[in-house]
Structure 1
């Protein structure tokens, strides 16, 4: 990590592992990634004063169009998971105020239909396409600096999927 940014805090964030009845995980292809295939699960910042579950429902609905009545919360990660931004993103993301993210993850079961997923539910859209993925493939789909976190999320939730 670039020493100039080492003293910065981590951005508080929530992530959602959304699984369907078949045990597959929702991933969306990031609309803003110039390097090509960057897929991820829904995630985003927790606003000041916002609680974890409301933040997770808000992020899920903004990014996928899936409303809270279409999911059941199954589990919450035991601890926050941290990742550092790579040097080429430091000082550029989130106004340069953070060195990375500290994420609390929720596992949710999707009770709706695929037609309930609307990537354009909120402007600006985060994803340009989506799919259901076998859980074991998750770490291969994510950008390199998030792979460790995705492996930890998968390891923690695997038996509940």
Structure 2
């Protein structure tokens, strides 16, 4: 059986203080217990990944005042865990494009959006990020962060 993956974007967001401070934005999902993640969302028909990234950030964190620093070179596929897979039918998982972005100094985060996805957020130091991210995407997040660091896009 061929699996169907929903095209999706995800943002590793650095604070506007970067590179003076190396803090990454994570947010706690409203619909899952103690799940912290990077903002992400689907790519709509006719959108390119950069357009989807800016739209999703505006929808999820109330701002798209960002500077794109880099993108992960490949799409990363993952399957939904069986406990939530029914919510995403007809898709079996997502195919994600990851972006490394920096908030502009005038960016105002507001997670109390018209359709909120997050109950709280934090800027976490690079070496503390996996103290909060413990779910099935942890290996993917590690792969992406390691790439951005190894390639010199992220200096923490």
TM-score (norm: length of structure 1): 0.84
Per the alignment, in what secondary structure is the counterpart of residue 97 of structure 2?
A: strand
Paired residue total: 148
Aligned match for 1:98, one of 91, 105, 109: 91
List runs of 5+ in structure 2 lacking aligned partners. none
List runs of 5+ in structure 1 lacking aligned partners. 1-5
Structure 1 98/140 Cα, relative in aligned 2: closer, same or farther at 3 Å? farther
Aligned match for 1:108, one of 97, 101, 104: 101
Pairwise CA distance, 1:32? 0.8
Q: What does residue 88 of structure 1 align with?
A: 83
1:131-146 to structure 2, matched below 5 A, reads 131-146=122-137
* 2:117 matches 1:126: yes
1:145-156 to structure 2, matched below 5 A, reads 145-156=136-147
TM-score (norm: length of structure 2): 0.87
Pairwise CA distance, 1:141? 2.6
Note if contact 1:139-1:150 (Cα within 8 Å) is conserved in structure 2. no
Q: What does residue 37 of structure 2 align with?
A: 40
Pairwise CA RMSD: 1.7
Pairwise CA distance, 1:105? 0.7
